[in-house]
Structure 1
Amino acid sequence: MTVLTTRPAPITPTTRPADYPPVRISLRPPGPQSGLLDGAWWPRSRDLARELPPLADRLDALWGRVTRVAVNPTHWPVVPRRVPVNDRVIKVGWFADEQDPHQLLLLSYRIGRWDLLVIPPETGEAAAERLMAAASDPRIARSGTALMAAESDGRLTVPAAEAGPPGDPQAEAWEAEGGATTAHVGATGGR
């Protein structure tokens, strides 16, 4: 696959269009660091310049201001060097050999680093739900490529969620951040 990098247009502040659908993400619940992924992102297209601003906008409220992003250009036809997001610019880098082609690396000054599984936009809802659940489950320690391969082969299984008592703050946070339920796959994210 050929990756085209174009000279970026002048940077002007932008905001997410009001009619742009909510970001489809699922994040690992709060707790000790474990696993290889911090969650999953299911973009609606392979246009990184269009998809990244709503994602960063959503994650800023949860993780702090995203300042840099790294991708593997395998699945992105164009990788812009800079992407305007509201009142700032996010720098984008790409690493063909070092970066998992199914992952997105996000950096922030406040919190540090996060790795998200990138679910291809053309993925069906049932498969995306399984992938989002697996990527955000702290008990599963697989790379993005390993999760995609397991889903492709029909081997992806997600352990049953450990439900706490009603009103359990950790369970409610899990649901609020896009826990692995059908109702949240398409509706998570967005401010």
Structure 2
Amino acid sequence: MTTSPNTPGESPVAAAPLRLALHETPDHLDGAWWPRSRVLATEAAQLVDQFPASVGRINRLLFSRPDWDDGATNGQGLRRIQAGRGPVKVGSFPRDDTHLMVLSMANGRRLRLVVVPSDTDQAEGERRMRAVATHSAHGGTDPDWARAHHESPGH
């Protein structure tokens, strides 16, 4: 059996392409992100490391705890993730269920991504990603998906 060395922050999931759709002219949402699992430490590291350089560098992430299995330990929200480029601060809203990931960029800009649940089937996930990328609208059927268009986690 042959194994390959991993660099810090790299995981088997990190090798998969990032499922990210950014809206050309942001309205209320800037895009959608469809992680492959509910493991924030792995998925957020992939988002940071594979985020398009042309859009900018992510400095901090704010997340909705209910979206992730590892968003909190002993009632305390995760405070840092280890990306391939190094540690990145993260924050959370304990009871926020808007399914949003707020990215604070190095240039001071904030981007809001709706998080498509990782267990969404392929056809529905692709439909949701297209809906946000082309219209900055959800077009989803579940209440949280529709509501996220009008809400934002607190600052």
Q: What range is the shorter-chain TM-score in?
A: 0.7 to 0.9
Runs of 4+ in 1 over 6 A off after TM superposition: none
Aligned length: 131
**What is the TM-score of this pair, normalised by structure 1?**
0.60
Indicate the residue corresponding to 2:151 in structure 1.
Answer: none
Deviations 1:38-84 (A, max 9, x none): 11111110000011111111215132221100011112122221011
Indicate the residue corresponding to 1:28 in structure 2.
Answer: 23
Indicate the residue corresponding to 1:129 in structure 2.
Answer: 126
Structure 1 residues not aligned, in runs of 5+: 1-12, 157-191
- Return the alpha-carbon distance in structure 2 between the equivalents of residues 102 and 87 of structure 1: 26
Structure 1 vs Structure 2 CA RMSD: 2.5
Residue 151 (str. 1) matches residue 151 (str. 2): no
After superposition, residues 61-100 of structure 1 pair within 5 angstroms as: 61-79=53-71, 80-97=78-95, 99-100=96-97
**What is the TM-score of this pair, normalised by structure 2?**
0.73
- Return the alpha-carbon distance in structure 1 between the equivalents of residues 133 and 112 of structure 2: 11
Kindly, what percent of the aligned residue pairs are identical?
Answer: 32
- Return the alpha-carbon distance in structure 2 between the equivalents of residues 102 and 14 of structure 1: 28
Structure 2 residues not aligned, in runs of 5+: 1-6, 72-77, 147-155
Q: What letter matches 1:27 in structure 2?
A: L
Q: More strand by proportion, 1 or 2?
A: 2
